[in-house]
Amino acid sequence: MGNPVTWFEVVGKDGPALQKFYSDAFGWELEDYQGYGMVTEPKEGIGGGIGQSQNGDGHVTFYIRVDDPQAALDRIEQLGGKTVVPVTAMDMVTFALFADPEGHVVGVVKSQDD
């Protein structure tokens, strides 16, 4: 696969309750990062995060690793997608969110290690 899925995110109205649910249901160990529960360094699968939604709406998002998030957004828009969150740099990653032609929100991410 050229651009693998590398991260998932589950957010909703009650981040701590969601963290407890997924931890209890699947035995996931979560590391707290400013109220965001991160599944880090899994033995299998990909890492992810569970937390509170900024606007209260719940959703599940997956993130696809790309070399250049802006170039990926440019291509996505040429194909009928729409930028939802522009390229944003944070401590650990640079990411962006887009909606596909049917409105599904997906992320692209470039690790700071890349």
Question: Which sequence spans correspond to the domains of the chain?
Answer: 1-62, 66-114
For 37, other C-beta atoms within 10 Å of its C-beta total 23
Question: What would the pLDDT profile of 70-83 be if each residue is shown by its tens digit?
Answer: 999 999 999 999 99
Average pLDDT over residues 48-75: 92
Of 27 and 69, which is predicted with more confidence? 69
CA distances from 3 to 31, 34, 37, 72, 86 (A): 26, 29, 25, 11, 19
- Second CATH level (architecture) for the domain 66-114: Roll (3.10)
**Same fold across 1-62 and 66-114:** yes
Q: Is 39 exposed, middle or buried (0-12, 13-18, 19+ CB in 10 A)?
A: buried
pTM equals: 0.81
Superfamily of domain 1-62: 2,3-Dihydroxybiphenyl 1,2-Dioxygenase, domain 1 (3.10.180.10)
On the CB side of 100, CA atoms within 13 Å amount to 8
Average pLDDT over residues 19-45: 88
What CA–CA distance (Å, rounded) separates 85 from 82? 9
User: Helices (DSSP H) in the chain: which residue ranges?
Assistant: 15-26, 69-78
Average pLDDT over residues 39-58: 86
* Mean of pLDDT over the chain: 90
